[in-house]
Amino acid sequence: MESKWLKWATELQSIAQAGLTFGENQYDLDRYQKIRDLSIEIIHEYSDIDHSIVRNLFGSEKGYQTPKVDIRSAVFKDNMILMVKEKVDGRWSLPGGWADVNSSVRESAVRECSEEAGADVNPKRIIAVHLANKQNNFIFPFTIYKIIVECDLIRYVFKENSETLDSGFFPLDNLPELSEERINFNQIKLCFEAKKQQVFEPEFD
């Protein structure tokens, strides 16, 4: 559940970012910068995120603020789901990451599975579109849409890469330690439920 303070801080940041982009009067620009600084202080005060990281995240954004898109792929074999071990925290997630510009959801799912898990896949349907701050146990200082895509497996050979340490298939009742900012148990359970149904209505919040 998203905390009120986080919602307020991210909305202040969004207002400030738009003002800094479209404002013309220097006095107004100074005020928008103060609003941005205040939003950074709020997130730093109430979370474990390093102050410089928050500032760099917010400071690098320009223009009207829009949600970021995180594509995650659910790939099955013998009633087990494909997972990757993240280098960043040593925990496990579904293969995926930020969608690239000029790439479709399908193309992003194919790319991430290949790069992170060594899996060639064919995306077939959307399982869920989730708001990360409602679903995942992590404080995100910006809005993230997580799109979970079910994919058919074509080939699988793990390759050494810059983002993951390992990959493998796991049953629902024996999952490894999860990287919960990326994926949680309920989201993986939803993937298994979708897999059982020929017709599945995507979940979105």
84 and 42 part of one domain: no
**What mean pLDDT, rounded, does the chain reach?**
88
55 and 83 part of one domain: no
Tell me, what's the pLDDT at 46?
Answer: 76
- Tens of pLDDT, residues 9-33: 778 877 887 888 788 888 888 888 8
78 and 159 part of one domain: yes
Q: Which domain holds residue 82?
A: 68-204
146 and 117 part of one domain: yes
Among 59, 77, 97, the domain boundary falls at 59
Q: Which amino acid is it at 76? A: F
187 and 95 part of one domain: yes
User: What is the Cα–Cα distance from 170 to 188, expressed in whole angstroms?
Assistant: 11
- Tens of pLDDT, residues 114-153: 999 999 999 999 999 999 888 887 766 678 899 999 999 9
53 and 78 part of one domain: no
45 and 75 part of one domain: no
Q: What is the domain count for the chain?
A: 2
The reported pTM is 0.76
Q: Collapse the DSSP code of 145 into the 3-class scheme (helix H, G, I; strand E, B; otherwise coil) and give the result.
A: strand
User: What is the Cα–Cα distance from 149 to 108, expressed in whole angstroms?
Assistant: 10
User: What is the Cα–Cα distance from 100 to 12, expressed in whole angstroms?
Assistant: 26
- Tens of pLDDT, residues 69-117: 999 999 999 999 999 999 999 999 999 999 988 899 999 999 999 999 9
**CATH code (residue 139):** 3.90.79.10
User: What is the Cα–Cα distance from 173 to 130, expressed in whole angstroms?
Assistant: 23
